[in-house]
């Protein structure tokens, strides 16, 4: 028998990424909703509470930094918990299972989708922040390095948790509920909408500290706000080490959950 050369998992994964992006952006309502929601909330809340917190820093700017974090959690966690559940519901996964596509390539495709969508989301939120609230973009490369690793860790951990959440959901619709309830509640107790975070009861923030959103938002505040703003953080510091630790831990936990709970179909026998 002649040896066959199967396409590499990476090349199939890239092809899946293209298909995922096409499918995502062709559903206009879905793309529009996912994107515009955080930017819209930012524009409204930021305008309502736009006061100066200290010299040169406004509440709108703080909110912008936090919303970058909340936005990419929408485009990773919420987005995937719905889209993977939908893939199970409409037979996408069942069909893929019958092909020589490795599961790894499927995940690669989803992560490509999430990275592109999250980058677009970030640009949109930052755009609103710069235009409406005069947010200064940092010029220090070190800040952008922090931005890059917080972004990557947040997207990867929240994508994995999103895929695991999709396994819990019975249908795509319940996927939306199962992810939106913790997402929205955690935004409140993580100091995204209520800012500065020190206004929240300490117990609430302790609960929020177990989840990625608090650390992602805090990480982006460290990028876009001056260091004098650390006094409005619970610990009085940016705690970047802890941020890396919590988000890194969620990457591991998310991956384990993903692999443990992944299902190709809803059929149970």
Partner 1 sequence: MTAIHVRGLRKAYPKIQAVAGIDLDIERGEVFALLGPNGAGKTTTVEILEGHRKRDEGTVSVLGQDPGTAGREWRARLGIVLQTATDAAELSVRETIRHFARYYPRPRQPEDVIELCGLEEKAGARVKSLSGGQRRRLDVALGIVGTPELLFLDEPTTGFDPQARRQFWGLIQKLAADGTTIVLTTHYLDEAEALADRVAVISRGEIVAQGPPGELGGRATREAVVRWFDRDGEQEVRTPTPTKLIGELSLGGGELAGLTVTRPTLEEVYLDLVGGTR
Residues in contact with partner 1 by the rule CB under 8 A: 4-7, 11-12, 15, 18-19, 22-23, 26-27, 87, 90-92, 94-95, 97-102, 269
Buried b (16+ CB within 10 A) or exposed e, 79-90: bbbbbbbbbbbe
Nearer to partner 1, 17 or 71 (CB): 17
Residue closer to partner 1 (CB basis): 228 or 265: 265
Q: What are phi and psi of 7, to 5 degrees?
A: -60, 145
Q: Is the distance from CB of 244 to CB of 154 less than 8 angstroms?
A: no
Write the Ramachandran bin of 31: left for phi over 0, alpha for psi from -120 to 50, otherwise beta.
alpha
Closer residue to partner 1 in complex, CB, 70/93: 93
Query: Residue 71 Cβ, how far from partner 1 at the closest point, in Å?
Result: 23
How far apart are CB 93 and partner 1 at their closest, in Å?
8
Taking the complex as a whole, the smallest distance from the CB of residue 18 to partner 1 amounts, in Å, to 8
State the Cα–Cα distance between residues 3 and 244, nearest whole angstrom.
Answer: 45
Cβ 264 to partner 1 shortest distance, Å:
8
Distance CA 10, CA 197 (A): 42
**Closer by beta carbon to partner 1, 17 or else 254:** 17
Residue 76 CA to its chain's centroid (Å): 4
């Amino acid at each position: 028998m002649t040896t066959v050369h199967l396409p590499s998992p990476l090349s199939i994964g890239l092809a899946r990424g293209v298909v995922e992006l096409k499918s995502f952006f062709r559903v206009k309502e879905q793309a529009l909703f996912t994107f515009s929601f955080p930017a819209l909330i930012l524009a409204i809340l930021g305008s309502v509470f736009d006061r100066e917190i200290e010299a040169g820093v406004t509440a709108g700017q703080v909110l912008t930094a936090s919303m970058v974090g909340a936005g990419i959690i929408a485009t990773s966690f919420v987005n995937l918990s719905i889209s993977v559940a939908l893939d199970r519901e409409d037979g996408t996964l069942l069909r893929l299972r019958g092909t020589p596509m490795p599961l790894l390539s499927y995940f690669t495709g989803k992560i490509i989708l999430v990275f592109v969508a999250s980058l677009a989301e970030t640009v949109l939120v930052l755009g609103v922040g710069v235009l409406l609230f005069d947010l200064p973009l940092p010029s220090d490369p070190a800040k952008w390095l922090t931005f890059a690793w917080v972004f990557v860790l947040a997207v990867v951990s929240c994508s994995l948790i999103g895929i695991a959440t999709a396994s819990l959901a019975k249908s795509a619709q319940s996927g939306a509920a199962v992810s939106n309830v913790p997402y929205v509640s955690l935004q409140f107790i993580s100091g995204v909408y209520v800012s500065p975070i020190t206004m929240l009861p300490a117990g609430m923030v302790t609960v929020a500290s177990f989840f990625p959103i608090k650390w992602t938002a805090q990480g982006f505040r460290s990028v876009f706000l001056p260091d004098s703003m650390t006094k409005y953080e619970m610990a009085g510091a940016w705690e970047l080490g802890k941020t890396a630790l919590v988000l890194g831990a969620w990457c591991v936990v998310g991956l384990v959950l993903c692999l443990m709970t992944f299902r190709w179909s809803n059929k149970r026998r």
